[in-house]
Chains A and B, each alone.
Chain A
């Protein structure tokens, strides 16, 4: 900006200066040349007069300062010259002014010296005797004049340049200042050049548009981040070389990394071979869904390649936690196989004994014990089927059951009374303590809790052992405790005793009977009453089971 302004100013100044110089020089030079010419002519006339009157004597006492005087004979030989010896000089007949003077009586001419630095004006006049008198005067040429003025001219030019620099700087500053002061963040609040108004309006509208788009983008990004960040499924994005581009916290947790491994190779994060196998296939362009077991559990991995222009540009991995599902699936399988096994065992006995009876292979005296065995096995099957039915009923949520006010203490007394025969057979002493405690519940379920707990306490007791049942009220809970002095449950088994068909000692199960479903039913019934159940047991000393039911 400054440069361009400077250039224009400088150009204008110098152009004007040069133009006026040329003009003035031209005008003045021609004027003074005219004056000089006339003077020369006058002097010539005077000299001609002198020469005509005094002949050669005129020259002898002539003192010439500014002029050069030459007298030329008719044949062109120089008779006299004020500057040089006449004899040395060449014939002057061919000179323009001489020729002219010889022809017309008067002639003049101008000639530049060889160096162009000087110009000579010549005037010649034919005298009466036919000789020619010539007068010449040296004159500085324009170039000489100009060169003579070189110093002042250069001073003026330098001045012009300096002045134009100063002016240019100041001017450009004053032009640029309002432009520099434009607040581009608030384009419409500016005053300045009106010419800029449309420009500023455009900037304003574009800024608004940009802001809107930025906000929208940020919102989208935040939404996406929140979704990916808060989802419980792990998600990993990889580039085409298998390096991690993005990973969410869930994926980091399940792969067991603490620092964000963005940029690292997937292999350095997890050395799981099947996971890396999936990755390899995916990066070759295949979608893979597979279940992989990692250190933190079982995960179903859904891996799909990200295609761009027909090439694999990366891969997206989704980890779904299927640990629970797999566990549930396994439990279901176990349950099915357990049920079939448990149902098959009594059936085998029944059909075996029945076959013997049918083929008449039983002695008369053995018929009754055989029938008794068949009856017992059938009873066992019945109770098993009943247990399974009530469990599946509980699984359904037992919605059709009737909730009424019942007294836990009375129910406990009833259950103990019902088990008296078994207790006597096992030589176990039963006692009931506590207070009356009524609560809102399902009597059948509460009864099966009490029955199963007491039944277990008798079954897994020692001869001459004791079973103590107590019912009491604690805060807003009814607390039922059944403790025995039996064989106890090892600590590592305690978590599993509520599983269906789980037996601590599998070899004894036949002996003591039972279906392996009792505690499972108890747990379900307690859960339906929104209660909690705890086990406290030491091997060889006994077991205490505490049930808390909200009133």
Chain B
């Protein structure tokens, strides 16, 4: 009985990592699309987001099955319930990556000096997502805490991008739509950073049992 439970927990772990990897891919691709204006890349992101959504449903049903059939307690219960919450954040990451791709495609964002800050911000967010999933894989409390702390860096990045874009409005003959689109892209990245923080918090919860 227990060994079957262990097997299912193992499967849950694997599925979570796979979903994490899909999210990493999605955000890396959307960041690349922003940085290089690669329209071909934007085509494949919605499909990836769809795949992430599919994974979310799979993991949810697996978690519910585990909760009902095995009635886990203590650490097992924490792992399963935090997995249930984490997939929601991961799904949002996938979805928002697709939204970024959508903006890049519709607005045909031009690559230029202004996107440099956004690119840095994207790199910081990718690092956060990657490390939050790493923390989950390695069950590393300290790493998860570092991700939570790193959110300030991303927030600073967002502030800088915002100031930069405000500065752009004061110049004559600017493309207002482009500027606002860039701001939205930056906001989406900032949101993804928040989701990474949520994932890291759930990782901390599943390890220590305390909700920081």
A→B interface (CB under 8 Å): 241-242, 265, 267-268, 271-273, 276
A-B contact pairs, 23 of them (CB 8 A): A241-B10, A242-B14, A265-B10, A265-B13, A265-B17, A267-B17, A267-B18, A267-B21, A267-B137, A268-B17, A268-B137, A268-B138, A271-B17, A271-B20, A271-B21, A271-B24, A271-B133, A271-B137, A272-B21, A273-B21, A273-B22, A276-B18, A276-B21
Cα(A523)–Cα(B108), bound, Å: 42
- With beta carbons under 8 angstroms apart, the residue of B14, B22, B24 that contacts A265 is B14
How many residues belonging to B are interface residues under a CB distance threshold of 8 Å? 13
Which residues 1-46 of B have a CB within 8 angstroms of A?
10, 13-14, 17-18, 20-22, 24-25
Contacts of A241 in B (CB 8 A): 10
Contacts of A267 in B (CB 8 A): 14, 17-18, 21, 137
- Candidate in B13, B14, B22, B133 with the most chain A CB atoms within 10 angstroms: B14
11 further A-B pairs in the complex, CB-CB below 8 A; given A271-B17, A271-B137, A273-B18: A265-B10, A265-B14, A267-B18, A267-B21, A267-B137, A268-B17, A268-B137, A268-B138, A271-B20, A271-B21, A276-B18
B27 CB to closest chain A CB, in angstroms? 13
Residue of A nearest to B133 (CB): A271
Contacts of B25 in A (CB 8 A): 273
Contacts of B17 in A (CB 8 A): 265, 267-268, 271
Contacts of A276 in B (CB 8 A): 18, 21
Cα(A242)–Cα(B7), bound, Å: 13
- Candidate in A242, A268, A271, A273 with the most chain B CB atoms within 10 angstroms: A271
Cα(A265)–Cα(B11), bound, Å: 11
Contacts of A273 in B (CB 8 A): 18, 21-22, 25
Cα(A418)–Cα(B14), bound, Å: 71
Residue of A nearest to B139 (CB): A268
- Candidate in A265, A268, A272 with the most chain B CB atoms within 10 angstroms: A268
Which residues 126-185 of B have a CB within 8 angstroms of A?
133, 137-138
Cα(A265)–Cα(B138), bound, Å: 11
B45 CB to closest chain A CB, in angstroms? 14
Cα(A242)–Cα(B15), bound, Å: 13
Top 5 A-B pairs, shortest CB-CB distance: A271-B21, A267-B17, A268-B137, A273-B21, A267-B14
Contacts of A242 in B (CB 8 A): 14
Contacts of B137 in A (CB 8 A): 267-268, 271
Residue of B nearest to A272 (CB): B21
B203 CB to closest chain A CB, in angstroms? 14
